[in-house]
Amino acid sequence: MEQQLTVLDAQAFARDLVNLRSNDIYPETLAQHVKERFADKNVNVKVYDEEQIRELGLTAYLEVAKGSDNPPRFIVIEYLNEPQEQKPLVFVGKGITYDSGGYSIKPSDGMKTMNADMGGAGTVIGAIDAISSNELKVNVVAFCENSISGRSYKPGDIIKARNGLTIEVDNTDAEGRITLADAVNYGVTEYDPEFIIDLATLTGACLVALAETYTGAVTNNQETFEKLLAAAKVSNERIWQLPNDDTIRKYNESEVADVKNSGGRLGGTITAGQFIENFIEEKPWVHLDIAGTAYLSKPQGLYEKGATGVHVRTLCNLAKKYSK
């Protein structure tokens, strides 16, 4: 019972973070919340500022971040246990603390709940909190904002990612996948994980297809997905697998760069996941699009309107499978 209460408390913390508005939560203050939450736990929190992010080679990440007056932060949370040679699990959460859409600006109604665009990061923070007494090895979380200024990146720009691939910016409102590109690449190259799972409020297409009930999933490794799905079923959190089809992948092709950051309207949830796949160095990977499930427009089941902390319990249950 005590373990269950710990998980529920962590999920409530994730919900509180995501429910905060953008005048209260931005990269610096979110980093402070994380440091305070883990201050008394056996967890190593690293917060990288703008110059350190540049030194880490997160060039695409910085292209998204540079338009905001609030400087970006890249947050890495490590929970390491013996044996040290055990491959870590890597969870990556999209942490856009507010998403205006950039130059591809959203309509006013579309901006009202964009404080929730850090839902993936909230889940990952909550998950590492919940399993800090278990064997989860590492957790990587990225935060920045997507606003407009004379410094912002623009549609038509060609930018370079951490792994050297060039990205044609087709739509600045497809910013989360660009930050995730560098974040997942950092995770796989620095930690050589057992697998990597990213969570993101990524596409309106997922909300249209699966409403606010199912999380959409894209994977390159069926075995890893099945383990995740089993953990989700125990948590009563619903996940629907989408095809990782090479024919659909072609929508991301660019005439001027290695890849486009948007494949357009057709198969939008799938192409967004496939974009991220370019940066995982062929590691076992699952992408979870929580655009519909992270933040509810009306009460559903046990949840009130607003943030849900979806998949905190799923990730905790998954980590238990790897406990030594």
**Pairing between β-strand 285-289 and β-strand 259-260 as defined by DSSP bridges:** unpaired
Residue 242 is encoded by which pair of tokens?
Answer: 């989408």
State the DSSP H helix or E strand holding residue 2, giving kind and residue range, or none if neither: helix 2-19
Q: Is residue 73 among the annotated active site residues? A: no
Tokens in use for 141? 């979380």
CB 32 within 8 A of CB 75: no
Whether omega before 88 lies within 30 degrees of 0, making that bond cis, reads no
Catalytic residue of the set 73, 137, 177, 260: 177
Residues 6 or more apart in contact with residue 53 via CB below 8 angstroms: 61, 62, 65, 72, 74
Identify whether the C-beta of residue 82 lies closer than 8 Å to the C-beta of residue 199: no
Angle (CA) 180 29 49, round 5°: 55
The answer to whether residue 249 is catalytic is no
Query: How many whole angstroms separate alpha carbon 124 and alpha carbon 241?
Result: 20
Tokens representing residue 320 in the block: 């238990």
Distances in Å between the alpha carbon of 245 and those of 220, 223, 250? 10, 17, 9
CA dihedral 265, 270, 275, 280 (to 10 degrees): 170
The catalytic residue among 106, 160, 238, 320 is 106
Map tokens 């408390």 to a residue. Answer: 9
Active site residues: 106, 177
